[in-house]
Amino acid sequence: MEVESNNKRATNGRHSASPEGSDSKESSVERELNGEIQAVELNGSGSGSHANGHIKKPLPVEDGRIKRKAKRLIQRQNSGSGGGGGSPSQTNGNGASASSTLVGNGILTATGGYVVPHRRWKNSRRSRNLNRGRGLPKKGGAGGKGVWGLPGSEALAEVYEDENDPNYDSECNDRNVELREVITEITPVEFFKLAEPIVLEYFEHGDTHEVAVSFDEILQGPLREHITSILVEISMDHKDSQREMTSVLISDLYGRVITGKDIEKGFNMLLSNLPDLILDTPEAPIILGNFMARAVADDCIPPKFVAKSTADLELLELGEHAEQALRRADSLLHKQGWAHLDNVWGMGGPLRPVKTITKQMELLLKEYQSSRDVAEAQRCLRALEVPHYHHELVYEAIVMTLESLSQTTEEAMCELLKQLDLTCLVLPAGMEQGFMRVFDDMADIVLDVPLAYIILDRFVERCNRAGFLTDKIINNMPSRGRKRFVSEGDGGHVKPATLPIRD
């Protein structure tokens, strides 16, 4: 509209300067154009203009130029839509189609009558070259002659190999080579290194399903028979509680990861390796016999495996250690019922009743009192696997000292408690808890041992000199004062422990 107003103002200026000449000129041009210009249909199609009878008036002409109004942005119509059925087009004065026209303030009219302002051209993906192409979006920098192509396309392009190149290798570049995946087989030694961390981790969490999944990832067919031997061999270096977990693991892996034949082959490997296993574990034949009997009780292997091996000892030539293991398993299986085999490894750790653990601690202290073997006492205490209950050992040691009425027992128990504290087998918290329990029960202990307070005072002083008691134990030690009478007139002062005979 600004273009039209500017043209009007310019026209009015020229009209004011020479009105007569301009009127005659304009009228002559109009007369020429009226005879030559064809009628243009309102919707822009030239074919249907005469059919509908709507004829557009000729545009005004100035100085030999047709003045056109600025058109608004319209959407391109499909060829099949509308009554006319033709695509919109623009024609010049002679009826020829105009490809593009620049009108007014830079408004560009493209082929087909599509008008795009400057602000739309800025972000348009259409081709800037209106004379070529179909007006489709650009290809994003790919394709064309003399261009780089899409980013990363150089990796997909085929590398040209020149046979005249000195570095050309005909064997490596043979097109007939077929590549196949090769899976290397691991040896039994490598499999043991892979399986050992899995078994040790199982001793911590106790999840048999996770162990089965881990074995499936690293396991190969010929190595299944080594699983049983690896499990039993690792458990021989641990305690009875871990051996019980190993028996449970073998039972859970049966039928899922390993078969009964694999378990039998694993036990045969262990029987043949007993001379080497006995060097690190002297009781290896007994342990292996317990494992075989437990596997029979869990229905992992048939009972005839043990019976047949025992009958064919001379033919198998396994040695005396294998014979001892087979006879151990046979003796456990010939007992009435197999229910006792569920506890063949005992009830380890906190699974046992408190009274059972207390009785075993009393037997440990009595054995130490007779032998004075501190190392053996420490080994037996570790075998109990109850570190949270070590305060009971301290309590029983002090009570045994008070009931013995012997300074020899006091020295022995003081030495035992000192060594347990130095090796951190009994923690300071457990030591403190054991002494505090004795202090709280002194009212009942003194009924059976009248001199309990005197012996306790002497024992605590001896332990304090040994240097393993804390200040809290010394400050909380109870004391029993002598009963005094008002007639004594001592004014509430405590009299000395030793009095003259006349008093």
Amino acid at 224: R
Write down the CATH number for the domain with range 188-343.
Answer: 1.25.40.180
Q: 131-173 pLDDT, tens per residue?
A: 665 555 555 556 556 666 666 666 665 566 677 777 777 666 6
Per-residue pLDDT, averaged over 465-473, amounts to: 90
Mean pLDDT for 325-337 is: 86
Q: What are the extents of the domains in the chain? A: 188-343, 354-476
Q: Provide the sign of the torsion angle of the four alpha carbons 378, 380, 386, 391, taken in this order.
A: negative
Tell me if 188-343 shares its fold with 354-476.
yes
Q: The tokens of 401 are what?
A: 């000292």
Mean predicted confidence (pLDDT) in 49-57: 47
CATH among 1.25.40.180, 2.70.240.10, 1.10.3470.10, 3.90.470.10 for 354-476:
1.25.40.180
- Looking from the CA of 200 toward its CB, the CA atoms found within 13 Å total 8
Among 225-229, 249-253, 348-352, 399-403, the range scoring the smallest mean pLDDT is: 348-352
Of 250, 253, 244, give the one whose Cα is nearest residue 296: 250
- Give the residue with greater pLDDT, 35 vs 65: 65
DSSP class of 96: P
The confidence band for 300, taking pLDDT boundaries of 50, 70 and 90, is very high
Whether 110 contacts 120, CB under 8 Å: no
Tokens representing 34? 């009226």
Say how many residues make up the chain.
503
* Crossing angle for the helix pair 354-371 and 407-422, to the nearest 10 degrees: 110
Q: Is the pTM of this model over 0.75?
A: no
Least confident among 155-159, 327-331, 360-364, 377-381: 155-159
pLDDT tens for each residue of 170-222: 666 666 667 788 777 888 899 999 999 999 999 988 899 999 999 998 887 78
| Amino acid, res. 236 | M
- Taking the C-alpha atoms of residue 262 and residue 438, their distance in angstroms, rounded to an integer, is 56
Please give the residue that has the higher pLDDT: either 443 or 501. 443
